[in-house]
A and B are shown apart, each in its own frame.
Chain A
Amino acid sequence: MLEHVLNGLYYGSILFMIASGMTIIFGVLGILNLAHGELYALGAFCAFSIVGFVAGQVAAPTGPATTIVFGLVVLAGSLAAAAVLLPVGGALEAAFIRPIYDRDEVYQLLLTYGLLLVLTDVMKFVWGPSPVDVGVFSAINEIPTTELVGFSYPSYNVLVILIGVAVFAWLAWFFDRTKTGRIVRATAINREMSTAIGVSTDRMFTLVFAIGAFFAGFGGAMVSIGPSSASLGMGLSWLVLSFVVIVIGGLGSLKGAFVGALLVGVSSRVVTPYYPQLELAVPFLLMVLVLLVRPEGLYGTWGEIQ
Chain B
Amino acid sequence: MTTGPTTAADSGGIDRRTLLKTVGGSALAVALAGCTELLEDGEDSLADADVPDEPIESGLQTFTEGAPSVLGVQAQYGAETAVRRINENGGIAGREMNLDVVEEGGAYLTNYQQFVDEGKDVTFGPISSSGHAEMVPEIEAQEVINVSTDGTVTTLYEEDFPDVTYSFRFQNHDVMEALAAVMQAVEVLGADSIDTYAGINPNYAFGQDEMDLFSRGIEALTGAEEVYSGFPDLGTGDMSTHITEVNGEAPDVVFSSCWGGDATLLLEQGHANGMFDAVDLLVGPVLYGSANDLSEDLVDGPIYSGSRNFYWGEPSTDQWSPAADLVSEVEDEYGVVPTAHFMSGYGAVTAWATAAEKAVSLLGRWPEQEELATVLENHGFFTPAGYHTIGADHQGYSNAHFGELTWSDDHDAAALSDVNVFAAKNVSPPPGETSADWIGSW
Binding site for B on A (CB under 8 A): 3-4, 7, 10-11, 14, 124, 129-131, 133, 135, 137-138, 141, 152-154, 156-157, 223, 226-229, 231-234, 237-238, 268-269, 272-273, 276-277, 279-280
Q: In the complex, A79→B203 CA distance in Å?
A: 34
In the bound complex, do residue A131 and residue B66 qualify as a contact, i.e. CB atoms below 8 Å apart?
Answer: yes
B271 at the A/B interface (Cβ < 8 Å)?
A: yes
In the bound complex, do residue B67 and residue A231 qualify as a contact, i.e. CB atoms below 8 Å apart?
Answer: yes
In the bound complex, do residue A3 and residue B244 qualify as a contact, i.e. CB atoms below 8 Å apart?
Answer: yes
Closest to B274 in A: A152
In the bound complex, do residue A131 and residue B67 qualify as a contact, i.e. CB atoms below 8 Å apart?
Answer: yes
- Interface range for B: 35 or more
Known: A272-B230, A279-B233. A131 touches B241 (CB 8 A): no
- Please provide the chain B residues from 184 to 241 with a CB less than 8 Å away from any CB of chain A in the complex: 203, 228-233, 235-238, 240-241
Interface string of B242-271 (1 = CB under 8 A from A): 101100000000000000010011001101
Known: A138-B271, A152-B274, A233-B67. A272 touches B242 (CB 8 A): yes
Which of B235, B265, B293, B297 contacts A227, CB < 8 Å?
B265
In the bound complex, do residue A227 and residue B269 qualify as a contact, i.e. CB atoms below 8 Å apart?
Answer: yes
Q: In the complex, A191→B240 CA distance in Å?
A: 45
Q: In the complex, A86→B230 CA distance in Å?
A: 39
In the bound complex, do residue A11 and residue B272 qualify as a contact, i.e. CB atoms below 8 Å apart?
Answer: no
Known: A131-B69, A228-B237, A279-B203. A7 touches B244 (CB 8 A): yes
Q: In the complex, A268→B242 CA distance in Å?
A: 12
Q: In the complex, A195→B99 CA distance in Å?
A: 60
Which of B66, B203, B231, B233 contacts A231, CB < 8 Å?
B66
In the bound complex, do residue B73 and residue A130 qualify as a contact, i.e. CB atoms below 8 Å apart?
Answer: yes
In the bound complex, do residue A276 and residue B229 qualify as a contact, i.e. CB atoms below 8 Å apart?
Answer: yes
Which of A133, A156, A237 contacts B272, CB < 8 Å?
A156
B417 at the A/B interface (Cβ < 8 Å)?
A: no
Which of A14, A124, A131 contacts B237, CB < 8 Å?
A14
Interface string of B270-285 (1 = CB under 8 A from A): 0111100000000000
Known: A130-B73, A231-B261, A279-B231. A7 touches B66 (CB 8 A): no
Which of B73, B229, B268, B272 contacts A129, CB < 8 Å?
B73
User: In the complex, what's the smallest C-beta–C-beta distance from A12 to chain B, in angstroms?
Assistant: 11
B307 at the A/B interface (Cβ < 8 Å)?
A: no
Chain A residues within an 8 Å CB radius of B69: 129-131, 231-232
Which of A10, A133, A268, A276 contacts B293, CB < 8 Å?
A133
In the bound complex, do residue A154 and residue B272 qualify as a contact, i.e. CB atoms below 8 Å apart?
Answer: yes
Interface string of B86-127 (1 = CB under 8 A from A): 000000000000000000010000000000000000000000
Chain A residues within an 8 Å CB radius of B230: 272-273, 276, 279
Q: In the complex, A294→B231 CA distance in Å?
A: 32
Closest to A272 in B: B241
Closest to A3 in B: B244
User: In the complex, what's the smallest C-beta–C-beta distance from A150 to chain B, in angstroms?
Assistant: 14
Q: In the complex, A254→B338 CA distance in Å?
A: 48
Chain B residues within an 8 Å CB radius of A268: 241
B11 at the A/B interface (Cβ < 8 Å)?
A: no
Chain B residues within an 8 Å CB radius of A10: 238, 240
A-B contact pairs, 17 of them (CB 8 A): A11-B240, A124-B65, A131-B70, A133-B264, A227-B268, A227-B272, A228-B261, A231-B261, A232-B69, A233-B65, A234-B66, A237-B235, A237-B236, A268-B241, A269-B240, A272-B241, A273-B228
Chain B residues within an 8 Å CB radius of A129: 64-66, 69, 73
Chain B residues within an 8 Å CB radius of A276: 229-231
Given contacts A14-B237, A273-B228, 14 further A-B contacts (CB under 8 A): A7-B238, A129-B65, A131-B66, A131-B69, A133-B293, A135-B295, A137-B268, A138-B268, A138-B297, A152-B274, A227-B265, A231-B69, A233-B105, A234-B237
Chain B residues within an 8 Å CB radius of A133: 264, 293, 295
Chain B residues within an 8 Å CB radius of A7: 238, 240-241, 244
In the bound complex, do residue B272 and residue A138 qualify as a contact, i.e. CB atoms below 8 Å apart?
Answer: yes
In the bound complex, do residue B237 and residue A238 qualify as a contact, i.e. CB atoms below 8 Å apart?
Answer: yes
In the bound complex, do residue A4 and residue B297 qualify as a contact, i.e. CB atoms below 8 Å apart?
Answer: no
Q: In the complex, A273→B65 CA distance in Å?
A: 32
Chain B residues within an 8 Å CB radius of A273: 228, 230, 241, 244-245
Q: In the complex, A4→B261 CA distance in Å?
A: 23
Q: In the complex, A3→B269 CA distance in Å?
A: 14
User: In the complex, what's the smallest C-beta–C-beta distance from A70 to chain B, in angstroms?
Assistant: 15
In the bound complex, do residue B238 and residue A11 qualify as a contact, i.e. CB atoms below 8 Å apart?
Answer: yes
Chain A residues within an 8 Å CB radius of B203: 279-280
In the bound complex, do residue A229 and residue B241 qualify as a contact, i.e. CB atoms below 8 Å apart?
Answer: no
Q: In the complex, A4→B73 CA distance in Å?
A: 36
Chain A residues within an 8 Å CB radius of B295: 133, 135, 138
Closest to B249 in A: A273
In the bound complex, do residue A223 and residue B237 qualify as a contact, i.e. CB atoms below 8 Å apart?
Answer: yes
Chain B residues within an 8 Å CB radius of A223: 237
Interface string of B60-72 (1 = CB under 8 A from A): 0000111101100
Q: In the complex, A233→B70 CA distance in Å?
A: 13
Chain B residues within an 8 Å CB radius of A141: 272
Chain B residues within an 8 Å CB radius of A153: 273
Which of B66, B244, B245, B297 contacts A232, CB < 8 Å?
B66
